[in-house]
């Protein structure tokens, strides 16, 4: 992987991790265009995912500080309930990651056909949530947190946007737009760090040379910085987009890209 390829893929990861257009799907498309095998560059995948987590911590540091401040009070309060909701939302993706990780990895290596289908499904979810007008709730309930977590677990499919699925599901459940983007971005931090840890363990087991592949430290650093900077921009941008309710434009984008990818994979 060259520095230019690392820059492009890092930018793609950072931007699409938060925008509802599927980072996994766009990384698959970008890797296919560059002729890069993701398994050969496991270290790069771990690096750019950790970079996006760091961008979340930077952008939402006030909310994270609020949560920890409340936790240290040692009683059940809004902050503690928020953490409980995040923990509940992690249950579905934890089950998928623990029991079906190998199956998911097989799907990731099955070509762009599934990516095109999942991008079209993302478009449908975003469009449906845009036109549906359920009664808005003041707080995200435990039930809603679990259902949003199911949407996050389903989004392990390449091309099905995690942020798009979780935010669209939360909107359909009647949760306020102002709360959903923040919850969606915070709930993904533990799963991403957990996945990165599993990838590191896999790399150690397979040997450092197999993990790094043909990527240089310079390319790795370029990809990391690109993912971090673009992630900070996309995270702030997406929060404002959700508040204004402009998700329909991303539905159109996903529909167009999904149709193109599907057509090229078939013909």
Residue 47 phi/psi, 5° resolution?
Answer: -65, -45
The model's pLDDT over 61-74, given as tens digits with 9 standing for 90+, comes to: 888 888 777 777 76
Distances (CA, A) of 143 to 22, 53, 88, 133, 240: 25, 26, 9, 19, 26
For residues 217 and 214, give the distance between their C-alpha atoms in angstroms, rounded to a whole number: 10
> Residue-wise pLDDT tens for the chain (267 aa)?
778 888 888 888 888 888 888 777 777 777 777 776 654 456 677 788 888 888 888 888 888 888 777 777 767 778 788 888 988 998 998 888 777 766 766 665 566 788 888 899 999 999 988 887 767 777 888 999 999 999 988 888 878 888 888 988 988 888 887 778 788 888 888 877 777 676 666 656 655 554 455 667 888 889 899 999 998 988 888 888 877 777 888 899 999 988 998 888 776
Q: What is the structure's pLDDT at 104? A: 67
Of 122, 149, 127, the closest CA to residue 24 belongs to 122
**Can you read off the two tokens belonging to residue 118?**
């999942």
Of 47, 44, 50, 49, the closest CA to residue 212 belongs to 44
For residues 183 and 238, give the distance between their C-alpha atoms in angstroms, rounded to a whole number: 12
Q: What is the structure's pLDDT at 210? A: 47
For residues 60 and 54, give the distance between their C-alpha atoms in angstroms, rounded to a whole number: 10
pTM for this predicted structure: 0.80
Q: What is the structure's pLDDT at 213? A: 55
Q: How many beta carbons lie within 10 A of that of residue 57, not counting itself?
A: 11
133-157 residues labelled b (16+ CB within 10 A) or e (exposed): eeeeeeebbeebbebbbbbbbbbbb
**Can you read off the two tokens belonging to residue 44?**
């790069």
Contact 40, 213 (CB under 8 A): yes
Contact 158, 22 (CB under 8 A): yes
At 175 the three-state DSSP class reads strand
Q: What is the structure's pLDDT at 139? A: 83
């Amino acid at each position: 992987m060259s520095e230019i390829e690392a820059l492009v893929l890092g930018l793609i990861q950072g931007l699409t991790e938060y925008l509802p257009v599927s980072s996994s799907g766009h990384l698959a498309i970008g890797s296919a265009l560059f002729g890069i095998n993701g398994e050969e560059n496991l270290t790069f995948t771990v690096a750019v995912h950790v970079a996006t987590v760091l961008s979340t911590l930077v952008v939402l540091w006030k909310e994270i500080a609020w949560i920890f401040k409340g936790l240290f009070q040692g009683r059940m309060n809004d902050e503690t309930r928020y953490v409980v909701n995040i923990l509940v939302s992690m249950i579905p993706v934890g089950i998928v990651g623990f029991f079906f990780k190998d199956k998911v990895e097989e799907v990731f290596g099955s070509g762009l056909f599934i990516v095109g289908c999942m991008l079209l499904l993302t478009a449908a979810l975003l469009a449906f949530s845009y036109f549906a007008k359920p009664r808005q709730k003041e707080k995200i309930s435990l039930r809603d947190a679990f259902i949003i977590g199911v949407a996050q677990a389903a989004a392990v499919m390449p091309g099905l946007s995690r942020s798009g699925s979780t935010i669209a599901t939360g909107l359909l459940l009647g949760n306020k737009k102002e709360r959903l983007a923040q919850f969606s971005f915070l709930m993904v931090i533990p799963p991403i760090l957990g996945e990165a840890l599993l990838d590191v363990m896999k790399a150690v087991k397979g040997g450092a040379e197999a993990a790094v592949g043909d990527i240089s430290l310079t390319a790795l650093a370029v990809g990391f910085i690109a993912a971090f900077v673009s992630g900070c921009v996309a995270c702030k941008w997406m929060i404002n987009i959700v508040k204004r309710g402009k998700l329909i434009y991303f539905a159109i984008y996903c529909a167009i890209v999904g149709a193109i990818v599907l057509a090229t994979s078939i013909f």
